[in-house]
Amino acid sequence: MTIKINPKLIPKVLIISCLIFLIIDLTFIVCTPEAQSYEISIYNAFPNIFWINLISLFFFSSSLFIFGNHININKYFKFLGLLLILSYYFIIICIPMFRGYPFADPQDLNVHLAHLNELVINGNIGNLNIYPGIHILFEVIELFTNLNQYMAGTIITILFIFVFISGISILSEKVTNSQSVSSLCLVLASIPIFGYGYYFHPSIDSILLIPTILFVYFNIIWSKRNTNQYSLVLMVLIFSEIFYHPVTLIYIILIIMSLTCFRFIQVNYNLRKKGKNNHLVNFNSFKPIIPIIALTIFATFILNFNYIRQTIKIIYQYVFNDIGTSFYEVQTELLSRSELTLQQSLYYYVNIYGPISILAFILFIFFIVILYDMKIRKEVLQNNGIKYFFQLCLITTLMSIILFFIQSVAANVLRILSIPLIFTIILDSIFISMVFERLRNRKKAQHFFNILLSIIILLLVILTTYNYYPSPTNAKQNIQITNAELQGVNWSMEHIGNNFCTKYTYIPLYNLQKRNILLSEWDQKAKFYRDNYIPSHFGYDKYQYISDALNNEELFIVFGKRDFLFKYKLPKSVWNKLNRIYEYEDLNKLLNDHTINKIYSGGESYYVWKTSA
């Protein structure tokens, strides 16, 4: 006896399940107290069931789009599915706020806060602000909503994610004329592959606008009606990119120029093939983008001329004079020093680069199928949209590879490959949709492929959710900055003179001080500098007193709980390879060392000692 399930009940069951998952997770959040001190991993703050519910919330809501075209789910349910996906993002983005983390992190967020302070205090964006767009938007939201800084950043982040998901969905449908491809794009684009980089990050936020820009561009070149309104929208979007991130703008110029050149070649080839326009070249393909490119280049060099000039100088010095360090060299140096076993290397690779590898592997299979299947090859060659996306994926990948070997601005491989990933997602969706179409009349094969696709989506969601934040899983330090550390930094900025040397280790004093200094005053007020480290074990493994290890210099020492816990983000087998490692017995020696004076204590999170010459 077979049990028949009414297809109309499936979306209702999925939505009700998602609401249950959402309510349970919100209950956990309300009932879990805030962090009282620095914690190794934000993932340890909640039980495993919390994270399982969060992953299930995403998976069930995305299932409305994966299988919606097969069971004819109406737009109302799909809209609810999109809202549920955004609720997943709201929870995972706001977890640091729920834990009581302040609006800070060990790196870039402090620089943004300095820019925001300069914008408010001086009433201008400042000469050093190369991406003021996100700061202006932040201040507008904060002014009109009266929300705290973390929530203002969250609204901006979710807004850009929504624009990205919607943009890639309508772009794929515009180019392929397929709702199936559009739904699959929406699901793959919803997977949080950029992790914590989504949050208030000019580089990632500017990249998330690219699908919408391309959607407007294709409306210009394919529309038979008056396209002035689309041209105006495109100019506004590209002009706004100038204020977000110059490197993304360079990619966009490259993308639009390559599309235009490709279309120019294609149009003139077709005209010649038909025996028309044998002696004249048709330049109409360039008309829509000439003023846009001219305006963009002009505005770029006016607004960000110094930044671009310095970037070109760095690239020139690296390529021709071998001066500088590339991201590739930084990564190879880290790998050579870590001396991880094969099993450990594989573990970190899967956690950090697993999602990228899965998406790239699907694209690789698509490429192999094109080479060996004549029908699919013919279909691809006859579809201009697919050719456009392959072209853009190839060009942006080559550009990213060049950046990988000549610069060190991007913090990780994911940021370097972020733009090619957009086109990889679209091409993967096209390939999956093609497979669905060919299995339409083969029920067993279709069921098997549905299960396989579900496993792939689930695996992607698990990997990206558990690697959304830095943790020992991906060998990175938690983003948490404690209130005690911020208070300690404020005290240090007030009581430590600029002429004194300050030694510290894993507390990110160099970056945290930027919150308290306008960047225009950096040279006069900066107190903490990079690579000014405390000796390992405070020198007590070699010297009787730390003052001996520091050559009896008059200086300050800053230390806190973060320094003890740093080693736990790495496997125990590599602890002995760390240049700086500390134990509680070392701290006891430090506290009893009569050659130095403890002048500030913020609990275990932040100590300050002063040595005498």
Euclidean distance between the first and final Cα of the chain, in Å?
90
**Residue 210: pLDDT band with limits 50, 70, 90:** very high
Question: Over the stretch 135-158, which tens digit does the pLDDT of each residue have?
Answer: 889 999 988 888 889 999 999 999
Which pLDDT score, from 0 to 100, does residue 1 have?
Answer: 45
Residue linked to tokens 């107290």: 33
Exposed/middle/buried for 116, CB within 10 Å: 0-12, 13-18, 19+?
Answer: buried
φ/ψ bin of 507: left (φ > 0), alpha (ψ from -120 to 50), beta (otherwise): beta
**pLDDT of 322 above 60:** no
Question: Over the stretch 175-206, which tens digit does the pLDDT of each residue have?
Answer: 888 888 999 999 999 999 998 888 888 889 99
| Model pTM above 0.85 | yes
**Residue 508: pLDDT band with limits 50, 70, 90:** very high
Q: How far apart are CA 252 and CA 204, in angstroms?
A: 14
Instruction: Indicate the residue type of 397.
Output: T
pLDDT, the chain, mean = 83
**Residue 361: pLDDT band with limits 50, 70, 90:** very high
**Residue 389: pLDDT band with limits 50, 70, 90:** very high
Q: How far apart are CA 248 and CA 234, in angstroms?
A: 15
Q: Which two tokens stand for residue 423?
A: 């086109």
Which pLDDT score, from 0 to 100, does residue 280 have?
Answer: 47
Question: Over the stretch 240-292, which tens digit does the pLDDT of each residue have?
Answer: 777 787 778 778 888 888 887 787 777 777 767 666 555 444 455 555 566 56
**pLDDT of 430 above 90:** yes
